[in-house]
Structures are given as C-alpha cells and as structure tokens.
Amino acid sequence: MIEEVLNLYPEKAKKDRAKHLAANDPTGQCSTCQVKSNIKSRPGVMTVRGCAYAGAKGVVWGPVKDQLTISHGPVGCGQYSWWSRRNYYNGQTGIDTFGTMHITTDFQEKDIVYGGDKNLDAALRELKELFPLAKSMGILSECPVGLIGDDIEAVSKKVSKELGLPIVPVRCEGFRGVSQSLGHHIANDTIRDHIVTSHNNLTQKSHNQLNVSK
C-alpha cells in the first residue's frame, strides 16, 4: 500500500516522501523508517500539520467571531483552511458572526505581476460596506503576497484610518517556519501590537486577555 501511495508522486517528491512512510512494527521495536518531521513542508504538498498561515487563521484568529478575517492571496489556501475550521459560533452569520464565512482577495496571475495592494484596498472598503457591524478586520497574507513584497501594513494603516475601524495585518505566509507553530506566534504578536492598545493601566485585579501554553 505504501508503494502505491508513493507511486502517485513525481520522482523527486517520491524520494522525499519515502522518508516519511513505513509500516507499523507490531513488536513495538523502532521502525526502520527515519521519519523526518521538523523540516519545512514541500510547497504544494498538503500536510496534516498545516503551515504558518493555517496556524494564524485557524488557531488564533479562528475563534474571533466578530472580526472579518481576509485570506489575502489565491483562493485555494483560504478554502482549505475554511473547510478544516474547528470553530462554531452563536449569532447570525454576516450580522454579528463572521468566522463561518470564507473571505479571500482571490489572487490571479495579474496580481502576482502587478501586485495586489489595490485589490486589497478595494476589498477592505467593500467589506466595510457589506458588513458594517464587524468590529475589526484581519489581513492574513498567503505565500505569494510575501514573495512579491506587497505592503499590507501600509494598506491596513491607510484604510483603517479612513474607515475608523481596526485592521490587523498578519504576516503569516505559509513558508515561514516548519509548521503551524510560528503562525501562532505571529498572530499573537499582532494581537499585542494592534488590539491591546495600552499596557499602562494594570492593576492588582488585571488579568490576561490571552493565555498560550504548550
């Protein structure tokens, strides 16, 4: 069965994936397969552990029900992460709950060539008009956005000021790190930098807004 699975891959990918697959040893002894996990996933190959983008979108921003979260890039990554979502919410979708919606800027070839900043700007304004009750927006960048150098920070700052709405840019391209883990850290940092606006009003009764444990 393992050989059948491997034969579906191109030769180069097959050689690489062979290192990750082996039959279970019923004796409980160590497998002869030298399983390698703590390395970057091969681009284009879907893995159970996901990527930095998946970690930011699904784990950290996924439970936030009243924010419009935009997958900035091609539709595929956003669709996959939406399909594998783990969060469900009370409320009415599109009114006070937005986590069950899939929003993407749907990058095309021309966006890769000429950049996607203008489309992102237009998408943010359209979303504000369509869903005026959203409390904030989040921009989660996918791999192509990082590769071509789109300035999501500048776009979010400009539109946020004009619309009077918090807009959080999250640099969580899938090629960052080796798994979802770095996406968790990046997303948590954006909460600290863009949502928690003041650290000066701490009292004896102050409590953590976000706890992260391993």
What three-state secondary structure class fits 104?
strand
| Residue 23 is among the residues annotated as catalytic for this protein | no
Q: Give the type of residue at 174.
A: G
Active-site pick, 134, 171, 184, 187: 184
Exactly one of 54, 143, 172, 187 is catalytic; which is it?
54
176 classed as catalytic: no
91: left (phi over 0), alpha (psi -120 to 50) or beta: left
Terminal-to-terminal C-alpha distance of the chain: 35
* Active-site annotation holds for 199: no
Nearest residue to 18 (alpha-carbon basis) of 38, 2, 29, 31 = 2
Q: How many Cα atoms sit within 13 Å of 1 on the Cβ side? A: 4
**Calpha distance 168→120 (Å, rounded):** 13
Task: Please give the sequence-ordered ranges of beta strands (E in DSSP) within 73-135, or none if there are none.
Answer: 103-104
140: helix, strand or coil: strand
Contacting residues for 99 by C-beta, under 8 A, at least 6 apart? 62, 63, 64, 65, 67, 69, 85, 87, 89
Q: Print burial letters for 175-208: b (CB count within 10 Å at least 16), e (below 16).
A: ebbebbebbbbbbeebbeebeeeeeeeeeeeeee
The active-site residue, picked from 42, 85, 125, 192, is: 85
Please confirm, yes or no, whether 51 is among the known catalytic residues: yes
Active site residues: 51, 54, 85, 184
